[in-house]
Structure 1
Amino acid sequence: MTIHYRIAAHSPQAHLFKVVVSVSQPDPAGQVFWLPSWIPGSYLIREFARHVVSVSAISNGQPVKIEKSGKMHWKVAPTHAPLELTLLVYAYDLSVRGAYLDQSRGFFNGTGVFPAVAGQEYAACELTVERPSGKEFSRWGIATSLPHAETQDGGGWLCLARNYDDLIDHPVEIGCFARVQFRACGVPHEIVISGRHDADLKRLKKDIKAICEAQIRFFGEPAPFERYLFLTLAVREGYGGLEHRASTALICSRNDLPLAHETGTKPGYRQFLGLVSHEYFHAWNVKRIKPAAFAPYVLEQEAHTRLLWAFEGITSYYDDLMLLRAGLISEQEYLDQIAQAMTSVQRTPGRLIQSLEDASLDAWIKHYRPDENSPNSQISYYVKGALAALCLDLTIRRQTAGCKSLDDVMRALWQRFGLNFDEHGKGIDEREWESLAQEVTGLDLSGFFDNALRSTNELPLVELLAQFGIESQLRVASGASDKGGWQDSPAKPSNSLGIRTATDNGLLKLTHVLAGGAAQSAGLSANDFLLAIDGLRVTASNLETLLAGKPAGERRQIVAFRRDELMYFDVHPQVAEADTWGLRIKDGEAACNHVRAAWLSGE
C-alpha cells in the first residue's frame, strides 16, 4: 500500500500550494488526517495547521463530508472507495522551518504541507512535485535529497519515501538556482544556492568538502547517507539552519558568501562555514544518535528532554573545532571563537539562574520564545553547552593522560546508537549519556556532570585551558562591538548602565535591562527610549561618551519615553565589569604542546 502525495504551485502570486493526498484504502470508520505541530530540530509548537486555507475531500468522484476534529486533525466521513484529500496551504515563511512560494522560487518542509494519514504513517509514500505552468517557470529545477526523477510528461518530478517520517525529513527547493557537486569520502554531495549572490562556487566546494571529509572520517566511513544536499538561501540579512537526515536547509546573508577576488576568510564567511559544519554534524548527532524522547518523534505535542545540551551544545563545540581540523581556520582563530562563546555566557546573568539541564528541558517555553528578560533568567544550551563540552573533553584528556577524549565518547555513541538506528530505533535515556561517557573513559565523571549540567556554578574553563598551555584574559569591553578576543592593551574600565540597545526610528531603544545594573536599579525598563542624559541628546554613537562625562557613581539624569509617557530617572552609572574574554597560546609552554596538538588536531 502506497500513499500518493501531489503538490503544485496553485497561485505563486498569492503564495498558495495545492496539496492532494490519495489514499487507496481509507479507514472504513472515517479516515483521519493530521499535520505536525512542530518540526524536528526546532523545539517550538508552531501549529502548521494554521496555514491551511481550505480542505476538501472526494471519493468516487463525489464530495465527502469532512470536519475539523482538532486543531491539527481532520476526519473524513466513512467511505469504502479510494479517497482524495485536497488542501490549499499558505506558504510565505522565508525561514528554514516552513514553506515559501512566490514567482521566483518555492520551498517546503513536509511537516508544514503534507498531512499524515492516521494509521498508515508507516506506508510507503510517492510524491509528485509539479512544475508551475507558464513559460516563466520552464527553467525551474528541483533540489531535494529524496530519490527523484522527472515525470514522463516532463511536468514535474516523482519522489519516493519509505514512510511518512521519511517524507517530511527531506526539504524541497524548486526554482532557478546555482548548483555545485562534489564527492566527500566517495559520497556525492551537492550545494544549491537560491537567491541573488556572486559566490565563489569553487571555493565553497573546496571548503565545504574539507568539512564533510573531516566529519565523515571522525565518525568513521562510510557516511550514513547515500548522498547529501546543502540547500542554501542567500538574502540581504539572515542566518540559520535546520538539519535533516541527508540534507540541511540554510539561510545566510549574501555578503557572507566568499567572492572570487577574496583570498582571506572574512568573519561572515567563517560564521557561515561554522553553520555548515554544525548542521552537517547533526547528521550523526541528533538525526541518528537521538535522545529517547525523539525515538520516534511525537509531532503532535512537545517532546521534552534534558539532553539538548548534548545534542546542540556538543554539536556547537565540534562545529568550529571541525573547521580547525579541516584546515579552514588557524589555532588562534579557533581560540577567538571559544573566547567569544565565553564572553557571551559571561555577559548573561541568567547563567547564575538556570542550569544546562533546565535550559534543555525548558527549550519549548523559553529558548524559542525569548523576551526582554531572557538574558536575566536563562542560558543558551547551545553556547554554554559548547563550553561544557569543551570542559568535558579537556577533563577526559587530562585525567586519562591523553588516552581518551570526548571524541571516543562520540564514536562509541555512534557505534551503539547511531550506526544501526534505522534497525533498532533506540534513543538515549536521560542518564544513559553520562553512563556511557564514564564507561568509555573509565572515569568517575559524576561530579563533573553534577557541576556542569545540574548547577549554576561557573565552568572551570580557565583552569582547564591553562593545563593545555592556553592563557586566559578577562577584561572590560572596548566598545559595543567587542565580542571578545585577546587584547595586548585592554581598554580602561568605563561607565556602564547595564543595558543592551538598538536604534529604532532614529531613537535609542533599550532592548534589555540587565539584572543588577544601574539602569535596573533606577527603574528603567526594556522598550524605553532614551532621549537625553543630563540635558544632552543621546544616540548610539555618543552614549559611551556621555556616560564617561562624570565619575562612576555620580547621579545622572536620564530622560526617556515609556510608551507615550515622558519619564525622568536618576541613575548612578557603575564601573563596567570585566566581562570579555580573550585566549592565546602561552609562550614557553613546550610541555603542553603535545597534548594541545592532540586535542586540536584530533589525532
Structure 2
Amino acid sequence: MKPNAAATAAALHYTIVPKDLAGHIFEVTLQIAAPAADGQVVSLPAWIPGSYLVRDFARHIVQIRASSGGKKLALKKLDKHSWQAAPCRAELTLTYQVYAWDLSVRAAHLDASHAFFNGSSVFLRAHGQEDQAHVLEILRPANVAGKSWRVATSLPELKAKRYGFGSYVAADYDELIDHPVECGDFLLATFEAHGVPHDFVINGKVPNLDIDRIVADLKPICEAQIALFEPRTKTAPMQRYVFMTMVVGDGYGGLEHRASTALICNRNDLPLTHQSEMSDGYRSFLGLCSHEYFHTWNVKRIKPAVFVDYDLRLENYTSLLWVFEGFTSYYDDLMLVRSGVIDEAAYFKLLAKTINTVTRGSGRFKQTVAESSFDAWTKYYRQDENSPNAIVSYYTKGSLVALALDLLLRTESAGKKSLDDVMRALWQKYGRDFYTRSTARQGLGEHEIAALIQGATGVDVARFLAKYVYGTADVPLAQLYAGFGMALDGAQASKASLGVKASRDAGDCKLAYVYEGRAAHLAGLSAQDVLIAINGLRVTAADVADGLHSAVGRYRIGETVELHAFRRDELLVVRAKLQADDMPALSFTVLEQAALLRPSWKKTTRR
C-alpha cells in the first residue's frame, strides 16, 4: 500500500543514478527534511536478510559528504558503517558514491550492460526516521546505451510508469531495501497466477532463449504455492511479483524478497526454442525459482521471532533455519511435481540426490541441524576444506527432516493431516497479516514448533525432533516410506575410491575435500594437496574431470597404491589402501503411485 500524500510530502527522498558505468559507480543522494536536532545518524546495513553473513556493505562507499542550505556540513564517522552529521536546522543532504562490482544476488553490480542493486547495499538508513515514507528517484544513466534501458522492480510506483525511470515509494525503510532493482535492456515476459501479475525479467545473452516455455512452467508452480497457503480463496500475499534473472557463464543462486526474487543462473541451464526435452540444468533452475517463490510466505512473512525486527548491524541468531530453509528446500521440488512440470520419476531422482548428498558427509554426526542453523553466520556461510567433515546443511538435511515429518504426520493421522497443514497453521498465525496488521508483529519462537505441529495435526512430534533435529541421527526415510508403496534401495559399491573430491587448479589436480576415515586421509593426505601421480602414472585434467574414477578405477578395492603429491612446494610420497566408493547411491523403487506427491492422501489419476 502506498503512503498517503501527507506522508509522502514528509518522506525521506533518495536519488540514485548509474554515474560511471565503466568505473562501476552509483551516485546516491539522500535528502532528510527534518534531521535529528543533535545531529542525524545514518548507517548502511552490514548484511542482507536471507544471506546470513556480515558483509559490511559500507566498505563500498567511496566518498560521502553532507550539506545543508547549500553549505558543506561536518560529517563524523562513528564506526565501520555509521556517520553522524553536525546539527543543522534546514534540510540535510547526503551525497555519496557506491562501488558496485559484486556479480551476485546479494549486493550491487553496474557496468555498460545493466545496473542492479539491493537497497541494503546503497541506501543509508536515517536513524529514528525508519518508519517514515521513503521516496526513491531512479535516474537513467547518461550514456547512449542507457536510452533503451528499462526498470524492473516490485517497488510501488509513485510518479514513474511501469518499467520506467522516475519515482517509486516505500512505506518505510524496511520496505525500501526489500525490493531490488534491475535496470537494462532486458527481456520481459508476463503471466498471471491466480489473478496476480508476475514478471519474468532476464538480463544477459541467451541465443534462442525459450522465454515462453519458462513462464508457461512458472505459472502452475506459482499457482500451486498460492493454493497451498490459501486453498479456499487462492489469494496471493502480494499484488505483483517479479522474477529478475541475471544470466552468466557459470553461476547459480537466488535471494528472496517480499514481492520479488533476484536470481543468477548458468546460460546453459535455460531452455532453447529448438529443444523440447527438459535438461537437468533447467530442472534445477525451475527448482531455484520455486524455492525463492516459496520464501514469499516462509521467511518473508512467516519468520523466526528474532527476524521480526532485523538488527542489520550485526548477526541475528536463530536455531530455526532448518524450518525456514529446510522446509522450503523440501517444497521447492515437491511443487514442481505437484504442478505437473516434472513427473514423479524425475522428482524421486532429485530426492535421491539430496539423500545421497546428506549421507556423504560425516559432519552430520557432529552437528545437529538446529546447531547448523545457529552457526550459519560462522560455519555454513564460511565453509572451508574441512566443512564436509564438520558440519551439516540446514538446507539439505532440513529438507529431509521436512520429508520425514510429512510422512510421519500422514501416517499417524491416517492420511487426514500432512505438513501442508503445518504450513497453513504457520501462515495463519504469523504470516497472513504480517505487513498489514496494526498490532505488533509476531514470529515463531525458538521452541514453539513442536506445539504448533501438534496443534495443527494432533500428532506429538517432540521425540522425533529431539532425535533428528536436536540430535544427529539420520532420519529413517526407508522405514517411513515403507507404508507408501515405495522402497529406498542402496547399491553395493563396486568401485575403488580414495575418498576425496578433486578440483582442477591451473591444470593441476588439487584435493578440495579429503573425507575423514577414507583412504587418502588415512594415508596422510590433506585438502589443498596437489595430487600428481598414482602408481607412477600422471593424474591428468581428464582424470580430474571424471572425479578420479578412471584413474583409481584401474585398481581393486583393498589394493594399495603409491601416491605422489605436493604440499606447498614439498613432494610427498604415501601409500593408500583403496576403499569402496563412499558416495551413497540410494534410489527409489515405486511399487505403487505415491500418495505423498499429492496435496491429499488419496491417490489421484494422472492426467
TM-score range, shorter chain: over 0.9
Which amino acid is 1:237 matched to? D
- Structure 1 329/57 Cα, relative in aligned 2: closer, same or farther at 3 Å? same
Does residue 259 in structure 1 map to residue 272 in structure 2? yes
Residue identity over aligned pairs, in percent, reads 48
Does residue 497 in structure 1 map to residue 498 in structure 2? yes
The answer on whether the counterparts of 2:160 and 2:168 sit within 8 Å (CA) in structure 1 is no
**1:466-481 equivalence runs, <5 A:** 466-475=482-491
Counterpart-to-counterpart distance in 2, 1:498 and 1:600: 41
Larger displacement relative to structure 2 (259-268 or 243-252): 259-268
Counterpart-to-counterpart distance in 1, 2:120 and 2:260: 15
- Structure 1 74/597 Cα, relative in aligned 2: closer, same or farther at 3 Å? closer
Q: CA RMSD in A?
A: 1.7
Counterpart-to-counterpart distance in 2, 1:73 and 1:436: 40
Structure 1 alignment gaps of length 5 or more: 477-491
The answer on whether the counterparts of 1:332 and 1:584 sit within 8 Å (CA) in structure 2 is no
Equivalent in the alignment of 1:462: 478
Counterpart-to-counterpart distance in 2, 1:317 and 1:155: 37
Counterpart-to-counterpart distance in 2, 1:59 and 1:578: 65
Other structure's SS at 1:284 match: coil
**1:144-159 equivalence runs, <5 A:** 144-148=153-157, 156-159=165-168
Does residue 16 in structure 1 map to residue 20 in structure 2? no
Other structure's SS at 2:265 match: strand
Question: Of residues 256, 259, 267 in structure 2, which corresponds to 1:243?
Answer: 256
Equivalent in the alignment of 2:468: 452
Which amino acid is 1:515 matched to? E
Report the CA distance between 1:135 and its aligned residue. 2.6
Counterpart-to-counterpart distance in 2, 1:581 and 1:285: 30
Report the CA distance between 1:545 and its aligned residue. 3.8
Report the CA distance between 1:577 and its aligned residue. 3.4
Question: Of residues 113, 138, 142 in structure 1, which corresponds to 2:122?
Answer: 113
**1:543-554 equivalence runs, <5 A:** 543-554=548-559
Other structure's SS at 1:42 match: coil
1:540-584 residue CA offsets vs partner (Å, 9 max, x unmatched)? 544434434444334321111111222111211112236221112
The answer on whether the counterparts of 1:474 and 1:578 sit within 8 Å (CA) in structure 2 is no
Larger displacement relative to structure 2 (593-602 or 571-580): 593-602
The answer on whether the counterparts of 2:360 and 2:582 sit within 8 Å (CA) in structure 1 is no
Does residue 202 in structure 1 map to residue 202 in structure 2? no
Question: Of residues 333, 338, 341 in structure 2, which corresponds to 1:325?
Answer: 338
- Structure 1 95/596 Cα, relative in aligned 2: closer, same or farther at 3 Å? closer
Does residue 74 in structure 1 map to residue 83 in structure 2? yes
Which amino acid is 1:208 matched to? L
Counterpart-to-counterpart distance in 2, 1:567 and 1:385: 40
Does residue 232 in structure 1 map to residue 211 in structure 2? no
- Structure 1 600/11 Cα, relative in aligned 2: closer, same or farther at 3 Å? farther
Counterpart-to-counterpart distance in 2, 1:271 and 1:599: 26
Equivalent in the alignment of 2:146: 137
Report the CA distance between 1:596 and its aligned residue. 6.3
The answer on whether the counterparts of 2:322 and 2:369 sit within 8 Å (CA) in structure 1 is yes
The answer on whether the counterparts of 1:52 and 1:88 sit within 8 Å (CA) in structure 2 is yes
Question: Of residues 308, 313, 327 in structure 2, which corresponds to 1:314?
Answer: 327
Other structure's SS at 1:531 match: strand
Other structure's SS at 1:501 match: strand
**1:395-544 equivalence runs, <5 A:** 395-422=408-435, 423=437, 424-475=440-491, 493-539=494-540, 541-542=542-543, 543-544=548-549
1:203-254 residue CA offsets vs partner (Å, 9 max, x unmatched)? 1111111111111111112100010000011111111000000000001111
Does residue 279 in structure 1 map to residue 295 in structure 2? no
Other structure's SS at 1:14 match: coil
Which amino acid is 1:125 matched to? H
Larger displacement relative to structure 2 (31-40 or 419-428): 419-428
Counterpart-to-counterpart distance in 2, 1:165 and 1:347: 40
Report the CA distance between 1:69 and its aligned residue. 0.3
Report the CA distance between 1:601 and its aligned residue. 8.6
Counterpart-to-counterpart distance in 2, 1:514 and 1:166: 44
Larger displacement relative to structure 2 (555-564 or 47-56): 555-564
Question: Of residues 375, 386, 389 in structure 2, which corresponds to 1:376?
Answer: 389
Counterpart-to-counterpart distance in 1, 2:566 and 2:239: 58
Other structure's SS at 1:421 match: coil
Other structure's SS at 2:200 match: strand
Counterpart-to-counterpart distance in 2, 1:304 and 1:234: 33
Counterpart-to-counterpart distance in 1, 2:204 and 2:488: 42
Counterpart-to-counterpart distance in 2, 1:137 and 1:518: 57
Does residue 100 in structure 1 map to residue 109 in structure 2? yes
Report the CA distance between 1:358 and its aligned residue. 0.3
Counterpart-to-counterpart distance in 1, 2:564 and 2:189: 56
Report the CA distance between 1:264 and its aligned residue. 1.6
Other structure's SS at 1:384 match: helix
Which amino acid is 1:517 matched to? R
Equivalent in the alignment of 1:63: 72
The answer on whether the counterparts of 1:231 and 1:248 sit within 8 Å (CA) in structure 2 is yes
Equivalent in the alignment of 2:579: 574
The answer on whether the counterparts of 1:182 and 1:190 sit within 8 Å (CA) in structure 2 is yes
Other structure's SS at 1:368 match: helix
Other structure's SS at 2:445 match: coil
TM-score by length of 1: 0.94
Which amino acid is 1:368 matched to? Y
Equivalent in the alignment of 2:368: 355
Equivalent in the alignment of 1:211: 221
Counterpart-to-counterpart distance in 1, 2:275 and 2:237: 34
Larger displacement relative to structure 2 (215-224 or 278-287): 215-224
Does residue 344 in structure 1 map to residue 354 in structure 2? no
Equivalent in the alignment of 1:563: 568
Which amino acid is 1:552 matched to? I
The answer on whether the counterparts of 1:52 and 1:90 sit within 8 Å (CA) in structure 2 is yes
Report the CA distance between 1:138 and its aligned residue. 0.8
1:99-152 residue CA offsets vs partner (Å, 9 max, x unmatched)? 011111000000000000011011100000000113321111100000126659
The answer on whether the counterparts of 1:317 and 1:387 sit within 8 Å (CA) in structure 2 is yes
1:319-345 residue CA offsets vs partner (Å, 9 max, x unmatched)? 000000110011111111110000001
Equivalent in the alignment of 1:480: none
Other structure's SS at 2:450 match: helix
Report the CA distance between 1:597 and its aligned residue. 5.0
Counterpart-to-counterpart distance in 2, 1:501 and 1:236: 21
The answer on whether the counterparts of 2:114 and 2:185 sit within 8 Å (CA) in structure 1 is yes
Counterpart-to-counterpart distance in 2, 1:301 and 1:370: 19
Larger displacement relative to structure 2 (419-428 or 305-314): 419-428
Which amino acid is 1:459 matched to? V
1:451-500 residue CA offsets vs partner (Å, 9 max, x unmatched)? 11011111101111121111111125xxxxxxxxxxxxxxx511111100
1:16-37 residue CA offsets vs partner (Å, 9 max, x unmatched)? 0001100011011011000001
Counterpart-to-counterpart distance in 2, 1:582 and 1:322: 20
Does residue 303 in structure 1 map to residue 308 in structure 2? no
Counterpart-to-counterpart distance in 2, 1:8 and 1:601: 56
How many equivalent residue pairs?
583
1:427-473 residue CA offsets vs partner (Å, 9 max, x unmatched)? 11001122100111111111111111011111101111121111111
Counterpart-to-counterpart distance in 2, 1:596 and 1:192: 30
Report the CA distance between 1:257 and its aligned residue. 1.0
Counterpart-to-counterpart distance in 2, 1:601 and 1:19: 57
Larger displacement relative to structure 2 (139-148 or 534-543): 534-543
